[in-house]
Amino acid sequence: MPSIKIIDLFCGIGGLSHGFVREGFDVVAGFDIDETCRFPYEANNDAFFFREDIREITQQTINQLFGDADIRVLVGCAPCQPFSTYAFKSPDKEKEANNAKWSLLGEFGRLIEQVKPEIVSMENVPGLAKFDKSHIFRDFLTTLEKNEYFVDYKEIYCPDYGIPQKRKRLVLLASRLSPIKIMDKTHAPQNYKTVKDAISDLEPLESGGVCANDPIHRAAKLSDKNLIRIRQSKQGGTWRDWSEELVLDCHRKESGKTYASVYGRMEWDKPAPTMTTFCTGIGNGRFGHPEQDRAISLREAAMIQTFPRQYKFLKDGKTLNMSQLSTHIGNAVPVELGQVVAKSIKFHIKSWQKTNS
């Protein structure tokens, strides 16, 4: 069996890395610019965390970490906001796709070109390929092709792979060994994982409550008015279910009438909406608990993101920063999406070995 090592760029708190860990891979390091990701990354992945800007990472550093591995796998997810669906509703936001932030994907390409790892994976928002007016994604593909990689990429709808949220992601795999393919779907609408599957066994909470045995199972405190709003909200409903005096001014405007999901409740029998950095607040999407009068807790958000219950987010004795942890969880690659990538790579390596044995 060849020795295989994984390095994760833009690793965050380790959702993608942990998917590889759960599939038996040796993850040696993660890089991220946010120091607050260090504890959860290292505590759960038995790997080193490097607080470093990708623009400062050298070929020598990556080669040293890979060592003498037979198969080197470089993975990552560059920050995606400029290519989100939201961003392209605004001409000003679209211009951000040209800014320095998007040199980050080019820097990923630079490291690929210098190190030439046997396998590469890149995960991002679908808009990166759909709205590529700046040729950023095309340039990344050109770098891969120029360096003799076989490439496969597609938009993945997470429920098709057993992940209980309606997240859509662009997933790319590339290999210098032989043609590579993203694994086929594992689920269909009739057996999608639902909100109920993900979080129904958790202890009930009130607004502002915290579970005595699990400090991560904590819900934000709602204002008196938002508490009335959530009590009048139905599963899958909208603000139109409220009494007239509760309707916000922004919803009365023509431009606000389409934002029906904010302050809404999730539905037990459907996948959750996409988790975001604001997923523990009801004013930022359909993040209300299906039955309890509150927004979802940090633990519920993490479980919808398919982090296992034993995943350590917080050092013992450290004060929990709810906003920070909500951001970390919302930004993460769902662990089970990481497993989809890892399984695809595992199958690819076994097929290549078989062909070359």
Enzyme catalytic residues: 80
CA distance 58 to 56: 6
DSSP string, 201-234: TSPP--TT-EETTEEEEE-PPPPHHHHHHHHT--
What angle (nearest 5°) sits at the alpha carbon of residue 84, between those of residues 252 and 148? 170
CA distance 297 to 188: 28
**Is residue 266 a contact partner of residue 273, using CB atoms and an 8 Å limit?**
yes
CA distance 81 to 353: 39
Could you give phi then psi for residue 343, rounded to 5 degrees?
-65, -40
Q: What is the largest CA-CA distance in the chain?
A: 72
**Is residue 174 a contact partner of residue 141, using CB atoms and an 8 Å limit?**
no
